[in-house]
Copies of this chain bind each other. A is one copy, B any other.
Amino acid sequence: MSEQKIDNRLWSNTARNLSPYVPGEQPQHDNLCKLNTNENPFPPSPKVAEAISNTLADQADALRLYPAPESDELRTALADLYHLDNNQVFVGNGSDEVLALVFASFFLKERPVLTPDIGYSFYPVYAQTFGIELVQIALTEDFSIDPDTYRQPCSGIIIANPNAPTGLLLPLSAIRKLASEHSNSVIVIDEAYIDFAQADADSDESAVSAVSLINEFENILVTQTFSKSRSLAGLRVGMAFGNASLIEALTRMKNSFNSYPLDKLAQAGATASVLDVDYFTTTCQQVIDLRQSLIAKLTDLDYQVLPSQANFVFARPADGNASAVAEALHEQGIIVRYFDKPRVNEYLRITVGTAEQNERLISALTAMQA
């Protein structure tokens, strides 16, 4: 619906002033090389479909009755995975819903919320939705996050880690610093891509996820998703980990907005995914290997590629004309993500695909340089 034709006289001011998030396009036709929304190139664990089919098999009651209201089985599986208590785990309809509840629960205060100037572009939308002031802190020249630049009064801090669309990982030492220096604010680490990250060989810490810090810092909240590393974008499941008081706030906020839980099939499928640890570990490593190979090939083509720890790479063609490359690829049915924004408009964000998809991409880029 075009802007000028909308009759919005019955809308609330909040509705009138929204600028909704626009996700990457989701064309549904065949033979597309879809490298624009960071889906996993591998299917989910076969146990997922099996668990859903088993749930469905109880025709009479599977769907007729309301789902388990607290998603207990799923939350227990997640708690066990990370050696947490159930009351340190929250689940929702995708991590985007979880993040919306996070903004309302912790950032809706007098002081602003701080976030990097380059990051997940939904954060400013949430802030606008809830009327929260958002202050964007500039990344350094090399796109990294300097905790010292966050020293100002705030309701909280939210950082995607690895960051999007850069793919760079913030080390736990920096997160500890932020949490210590802002003990009265909630530090939200949005770990949509964390399962593709690996600790630096010469780092003191073997962990990369801030989940390892939540028993140490009561003000750290970590969000994750089943859409990337668990290949379940179609199932819409996200989660948060934090101390019991933070999880209680999220639960109350959720129950004041939509008191019902994830649907029964999503609960069953997500639980099966968490329990199949081997499949998860194997496919994550495969994606990491494919990423390193993609980075090497792009570098061979004179692309400047950031050292990604996610399942995508952020790459700049030698002439900086990323927009033209994206367009040329699109014409060949290869879709990558281009952000027409300052500082990142010379880069492409390219999802790590299967070996075949990556080859198709590299061939197309090679042909362009011929």
Enumerate chain A interface residues (CB-CB to B < 8 A): 1, 6-15, 18-23, 26, 28, 34, 37, 39-40, 42-44, 46, 48-49, 52-53, 56, 59-69, 87, 93-94, 96-97, 100, 104-109, 122, 125-126, 128-129, 155, 184-186, 218-219, 227, 231-236, 244-246, 248-249, 251-266, 269
Q: How far is the CB of A285 from chain B (nearest CB, A)?
A: 18
Please tell me if the beta carbons of B63 and A269 are within 8 angstroms of each other in the complex: yes
Please tell me if the beta carbons of A44 and B20 are within 8 angstroms of each other in the complex: no
A-B contact list, 19 entries, CB within 8 Å: A9-B184, A10-B219, A12-B108, A12-B155, A14-B104, A15-B104, A15-B108, A18-B255, A22-B259, A23-B259, A26-B66, A46-B59, A52-B52, A63-B233, A65-B233, A93-B263, A235-B263, A236-B263, A263-B263
Q: Report the separation of the CA atoms of residues A288 and B33 in the bound assembly, to the nearest whole angstrom.
A: 52
Set of chain B residues within 8 Å of A6, measured between Cβ atoms: 245, 248
A10 touching B106 in the complex, CB below 8 Å, given contacts A23-B69, A44-B63, A269-B63: yes
* Selected contact of A26 from candidates B69, B107, B256, CB within 8 Å: B69
Set of chain B residues within 8 Å of A52, measured between Cβ atoms: 52, 56, 265
Please tell me if the beta carbons of B63 and A1 are within 8 angstroms of each other in the complex: no
Q: Report the separation of the CA atoms of residues A19 and B256 in the bound assembly, to the nearest whole angstrom.
A: 7
Please tell me if the beta carbons of B105 and A256 are within 8 angstroms of each other in the complex: no
How many copies of this kind of chain does the complex include?
2
Q: Report the separation of the CA atoms of residues A60 and B69 in the bound assembly, to the nearest whole angstrom.
A: 30
Q: Report the separation of the CA atoms of residues A155 and B261 in the bound assembly, to the nearest whole angstrom.
A: 30
Please tell me if the beta carbons of A10 and B108 are within 8 angstroms of each other in the complex: no
Q: How far is the CB of A12 from chain B (nearest CB, A)?
A: 4
Please tell me if the beta carbons of A260 and B44 are within 8 angstroms of each other in the complex: no
Q: How far is the CB of A36 from chain B (nearest CB, A)?
A: 10
Closest residue of chain B to A110, judged by CB?
B13
Set of chain B residues within 8 Å of A100, measured between Cβ atoms: 257-258
* Selected contact of A259 from candidates B20, B43, B53, CB within 8 Å: B20
Q: Report the separation of the CA atoms of residues A64 and B351 in the bound assembly, to the nearest whole angstrom.
A: 14
Q: How far is the CB of A46 from chain B (nearest CB, A)?
A: 7
Set of chain B residues within 8 Å of A254, measured between Cβ atoms: 20
Please tell me if the beta carbons of B14 and A43 are within 8 angstroms of each other in the complex: no
Closest residue of chain B to A125, judged by CB?
B256
Closest residue of chain B to A261, judged by CB?
B236
Please tell me if the beta carbons of B234 and A263 are within 8 angstroms of each other in the complex: yes
Closest residue of chain B to A59, judged by CB?
B43
Set of chain B residues within 8 Å of A12, measured between Cβ atoms: 104-109, 155, 249
Q: How far is the CB of A211 from chain B (nearest CB, A)?
A: 18
Q: Report the separation of the CA atoms of residues A234 and B63 in the bound assembly, to the nearest whole angstrom.
A: 4
A15 touching B252 in the complex, CB below 8 Å, given contacts A64-B42, A66-B26, A269-B63: yes
Q: How far is the CB of A166 from chain B (nearest CB, A)?
A: 21
Q: Report the separation of the CA atoms of residues A15 and B104 in the bound assembly, to the nearest whole angstrom.
A: 7
A66 touching B184 in the complex, CB below 8 Å, given contacts A10-B245, A249-B8, A258-B94: no
Set of chain B residues within 8 Å of A20, measured between Cβ atoms: 251-252, 254-256, 259
Set of chain B residues within 8 Å of A11, measured between Cβ atoms: 105-106, 245, 249
Set of chain B residues within 8 Å of A245, measured between Cβ atoms: 6-8, 10-11
Q: Report the separation of the CA atoms of residues A234 and B266 in the bound assembly, to the nearest whole angstrom.
A: 10
Q: Report the separation of the CA atoms of residues A290 and B192 in the bound assembly, to the nearest whole angstrom.
A: 49
Q: Report the separation of the CA atoms of residues A122 and B263 in the bound assembly, to the nearest whole angstrom.
A: 20
Of all A-B residue pairs in the complex, the 4 with the closest CB atoms, nearest first, are A20-B255, A234-B264, A12-B108, A63-B234
Set of chain B residues within 8 Å of A125, measured between Cβ atoms: 256
